[in-house]
């Protein structure tokens, strides 16, 4: 066991391509600053809301505020923003991503400029803010609260998904029509802010690039069934930058093509992340601990590799029917198909789409154990996690562990407790191997 | 390899106390237990010296040292840090080979584990970072009631009407205890109420790992007969307690070291 005290936050990556992500992250903020200087529009935005291509088609530069919070944590420069938001009255149980964003904007307002030394130069003031109900409530309300600190028009889009037991054939058209109205509303909002009409051809092009990148990303993840694992989860938490923050761009396509080639080479030549892969772990859910990503390497020191993960993944590719010829219709259909991808399976088995997805992963990736990360301030990925773990336990007999902290707030993290749990988890994996 | 008359040490560097155990052929030949204090390294050296003296051997006589507990990373010895849950499981298995479920109530956390017939971990769950789930809760209440911690178990067993705490939070329970004292509640009834509250928290963990008999209670909680009784009642199974339950992890660490060192 590694007895050295760890101070760094990042993890050693498994692939060379993943090491190219850091400049891409820097470029997100650089591009936003340059856009402001050049009179282009910049939007605070929420990832995985299915609307990225609309922004690209309208030449609006996306500024993902959640990512900025993760970046601050990876740089261990989050406390001043968290504390500021809390001093402004936001509870410690509010999403820490939102607290960092609100704290950053609050400090900027007070200082009259970006707080000194902010990671990657800080976020410039946005021209607009586009919230989203996809995944959680803070993403819908966050920018409304930000209006305390800056003046920029806000639009929050509703992204809907039916419950697993719904009669999909009966409700489908209602959902798709409603979703289309929501996208249409966003387009009108963007047109008003940019004084430009949406060009449908440009939207089709962005969709084409977006889908191509995500197909490649999916193909890369399928390569990861290889034993030994050619690409670990810590790489995923870097390479997702292309899929989530460069959606609808050629840059994302090129990046994933390069990564695909590297992972394929490693898989074909049995080049694993570590020399002696003993256990293949599934990161079952919860946001990554951005403050302590080296923990993945700590697992590796026991021969345990995170072969795959179930968070911040691209959606599995879906087949939108060929009769859909309008790009906004296409987006609405795609959103529906993505949201219902595991509903049928769920109805036939556990009743829970997430459990079904995990069961499929466990089988395909020859998983030996599952780890969940409960993030105290992320209700969306934490509420229900214990239930999912329990349900999963009914269908597979694998050691599972739930580590508790937060995605960015270090005050919820205890290194000693994590190491104690990880030690026991590894012993449980070993005991299982002994019995086989 | 013949391990008879070979000595191994186990050190459990817990948040409240540090324990050292010397074994020979899986039998304890000496042990010591002292408060962890502010300096883990000094305390570890002291407790090891005392345990060696109790076993009447010298440091050089040891074939290996195993270390576990929250402070294991700070060990001053050339020793292999090990998971404390695994050490507890190992220790329990030696005392009770039939044990399949382990409850360890320590100063900071309560840990529960399912154990295989070989004394290994099959599944485990720790309490949240909350004082109610740990020995700290008992320390708080014993301080308010001014009853020494080692006497609370016996006193609790004399309770006729355990009080029901309306909170599961140690901080609020402190003020609630003070209110109940002011209302004239007997210390025995307050303690029995605390034990019931803790037992229900432990029960939640056990349900999640699907407990199987026999059930063993270790850690400081194992020295509290009132707590053992409350847990036994709520889970519907008798509770086994090893001799000197605060030493089980250190004992297990020594046993595991013996096994890995002697091959
Ligand atoms: S999903 Fe979780 S982390 Fe992301 S914004 Fe919502 S609450 Fe915050």
pTM value is 0.86
Beta bridge partners of B103: B112, B217
Question: A–B: how many Cβ contacts below 8 A?
Answer: 69
Question: Cβ contacts of residue A322 below 8 Å, gap of 6+?
Answer: none
Is it the case that residue A258 has pLDDT exceeding 50? yes
A404: nearest CA in chain B? B128
Distance CA A77, CA A88 (A): 19
Q: Which residue stretches of A291-414 are H helix? A: 295-300, 327-339, 343-348, 353-364, 379-382, 385-395
- Contact list in A for residue B73 (CB cut-off 8 A) is 3, 5, 416, 419
DSSP three-state, residue A3: coil
Ligand 1 atom showing the smallest separation from residue A96 Cα: 8
Task: Name the DSSP class of B131.
Answer: G
Question: Cβ contacts of residue A180 below 8 Å, gap of 6+?
Answer: A328, A329, A331, A332
pLDDT of residue A252: 97
Residue A135 near ligand 1, beta carbon < 6 Å: yes
Instruction: From A45, A65, A66, A134, give the residue whose CB has the most ligand 1 atoms within 8 Å, as the site to mutate.
Output: A66
- Compare CB distances from B120 to A400, A401, A427 and report the shortest one's residue: A427
With a cut of 50, list the residues of chain B below it in pLDDT: 1
Indicate the range of A27-31, A38-42, B99-103, B165-169 predicted with least confidence.
B165-169
Beta strands in B89-164 (DSSP E): 101-105, 110-115, 121-126
- Contact list in A for residue B130 (CB cut-off 8 A) is none
Residue A381 near ligand 1, beta carbon < 6 Å: yes
Q: Average pLDDT of chain A?
A: 94
In chain B, where the domains are located:
7-89+246-262, 98-241
Instruction: From A45, A99, A129, A138, give the residue whose CB has the most ligand 1 atoms within 8 Å, as the site to mutate.
Output: A138
Peptide bond preceding A21: is omega within 30 degrees of 0, i.e. cis? no
Is it the case that residue A5 has pLDDT exceeding 60? no
pLDDT digits (tens, 9 = 90+) for A137-188: 999 999 999 999 999 999 999 999 999 999 999 999 999 999 999 999 999 9
| Fold agreement between B7-89+246-262 and B98-241 | yes
- For residue B175, the surrounding DSSP H or E stretch is helix B170-182
Q: Is B85 on the interface with A (CB under 8 A)?
A: yes
Q: Distances from the Cα of B166 to the Cαs of B158, B175, B203, B260, in angstroms?
A: 22, 11, 18, 48
- A380 CA distance to ligand 1 centroid (A)? 6
Is it the case that residue A7 has pLDDT exceeding 60? no
Q: Whose CA is nearest to atom 2 of ligand 1?
A: A378
Q: Whose CA is nearest to atom 6 of ligand 1?
A: A136
Q: Is B81 on the interface with A (CB under 8 A)?
A: yes
Q: What is the CA radius of gyration of chain A?
A: 21
Is it the case that residue A373 has pLDDT exceeding 90? yes
Question: Cβ contacts of residue A56 below 8 Å, gap of 6+?
Answer: A62, A202, A206, A209, A210, A247, A248, A249
- Compare CB distances from A428 to B71, B73, B123 and report the shortest one's residue: B123
CATH architecture of B98-241: 2-Layer Sandwich (3.30)
Peptide bond preceding A349: is omega within 30 degrees of 0, i.e. cis? no
Sheet of B215-218: strand order equals B121-126, B110-115, B101-105, B215-218, B239-240
Question: Cβ contacts of residue A30 below 8 Å, gap of 6+?
Answer: A120, A121
CATH level 3 topology of B7-89+246-262: Nucleotidyltransferase; domain 5 (3.30.420)
Question: Cβ contacts of residue A227 below 8 Å, gap of 6+?
Answer: A272, A277, A280, A366
Q: Cβ A423–B118 below 8 Å, yes or no? A: no
Distance CA A61, CA A184 (A): 19
DSSP three-state, residue B251: helix
- DSSP assignment string, A150-183: ----EEEE------TTS-HHHHHHHHHHHHHHHH
Confidence of residue A132 (pLDDT cuts 50, 70, 90): very high
pLDDT of residue B164: 84
Angle A65-74/A21-37 helices, nearest 10 degrees? 130
Q: Cβ A404–B109 below 8 Å, yes or no? A: no
What is the least distance, in Å, from the CA of B131 to any CA of chain A?
14
């Amino acid at each position: 066991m590694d007895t050295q005290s760890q101070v760094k936050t990042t993890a050693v990556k498994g692939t060379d391509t993943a090491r190219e992500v850091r400049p891409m992250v820097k470029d997100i903020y650089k591009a936003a600053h340059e856009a402001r200087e050049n009179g282009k529009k910049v939007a605070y935005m929420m990832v995985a809301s299915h609307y990225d291509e609309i922004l690209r088609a309208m030449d609006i530069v996306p500024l993902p505020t959640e990512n900025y919070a993760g970046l601050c944590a990876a740089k261990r420069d989050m406390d001043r923003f968290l504390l500021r938001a809390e001093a402004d009255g936001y509870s410690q149980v509010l999403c820490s991503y939102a607290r960092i964003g609100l704290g950053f904007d609050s400090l900027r307002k007070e200082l009259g400029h970006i707080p000194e030394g902010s990671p990657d130069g800080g976020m410039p003031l946005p021209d607009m803010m586009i919230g989203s109900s996809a995944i959680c409530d803070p993403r819908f309300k966050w920018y409304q609260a930000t209006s305390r600190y800056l003046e920029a028009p806000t639009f929050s889009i509703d992204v809907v998904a039916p419950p697993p037991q719904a009669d999909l054939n009966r409700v489908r058209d209602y959902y798709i029509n409603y979703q289309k109205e929501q996208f249409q509303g966003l387009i009108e909002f963007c047109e008003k802010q940019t004084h430009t009409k949406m060009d449908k051809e440009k939207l089709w092009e962005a969709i084409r690039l977006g889908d191509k990148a995500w197909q490649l990303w999916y193909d890369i993840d399928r390569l990861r069934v290889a034993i030994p694992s050619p690409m670990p989860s810590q790489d995923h938490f870097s390479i997702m930058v292309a899929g989530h923050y460069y959606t609808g761009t050629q840059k994302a396509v090129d990046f994933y093509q390069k990564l695909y080639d590297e992972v394929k080479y490693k898989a074909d030549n049995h080049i694993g992340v570590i020399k002696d892969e003993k256990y293949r772990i599934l990161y079952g859910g919860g946001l990554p601990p951005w403050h302590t990503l080296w923990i993945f390497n700590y697992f590796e020191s026991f021969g345990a590799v995170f072969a795959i993960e179930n968070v911040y993944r691209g959606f599995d590719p879906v087949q939108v029917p060929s009769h859909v010829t309008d790009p906004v219709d296409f987006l609405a259909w795609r959103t529906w198909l993505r949201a219902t991808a595991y509903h049928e399976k769920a109805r036939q088995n556990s009743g829970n789409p997430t459990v079904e997805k995990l069961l499929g992963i466990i089988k395909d990736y020859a998983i030996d154990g599952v780890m969940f990360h409960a993030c105290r301030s992320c209700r969306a990925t934490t509420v229900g996690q214990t239930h999912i773990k329990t349900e999963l336990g009914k269908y597979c007999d694998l050691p599972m562990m739930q580590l508790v902290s937060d995605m960015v707030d270090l005050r919820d993290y205890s290194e000693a407790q994590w190491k104690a749990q990880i030690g026991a988890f590894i012993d449980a994996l070993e005991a299982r191997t002994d019995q086989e | 390899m013949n391990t008879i008359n070979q000595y191994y040490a186990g050190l459990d560097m817990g948040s409240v106390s540090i324990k050292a155990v010397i074994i020979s052929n899986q039998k304890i030949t000496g042990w010591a237990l002292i408060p962890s204090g502010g300096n883990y390294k000094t305390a570890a050296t002291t407790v090891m010296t005392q345990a060696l003296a109790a076993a009447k051997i010298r440091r050089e006589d040891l074939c290996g040292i195993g270390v576990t507990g929250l402070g294991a990373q700070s060990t001053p010895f050339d020793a292999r840090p090990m998971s404390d849950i695994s050490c507890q499981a190992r220790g329990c298995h030696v005392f009770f080979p039939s044990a399949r479920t382990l409850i360890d109530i320590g100063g900071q956390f309560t840990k529960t584990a399912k154990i295989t017939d070989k004394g290994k971990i099959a599944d485990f769950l720790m309490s949240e970072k909350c004082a109610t789930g740990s020995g700290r809760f008992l320390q708080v209440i014993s301080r308010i009631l001014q009853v020494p911690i080692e006497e609370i178990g016996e006193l609790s067993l004399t309770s006729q009407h355990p009080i029901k705490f309306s909170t599961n939070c140690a901080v609020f329970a402190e003020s609630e205890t003070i209110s109940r004292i002011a209302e004239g509640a007997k210390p025995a009834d307050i303690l029995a109420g605390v034990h019931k509250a803790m037992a229900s928290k432990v029960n939640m963990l056990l349900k999640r790992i699907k407990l199987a008999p026999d059930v063993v209670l270790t850690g400081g909680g194992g020295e509290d007969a009132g707590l053992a009784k409350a847990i036994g009642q709520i889970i519907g199974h008798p509770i086994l307690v090893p001799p000197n339950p605060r030493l089980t992890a250190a004992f297990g660490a020594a046993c595991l070291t013996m096994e890995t060192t002697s091959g």
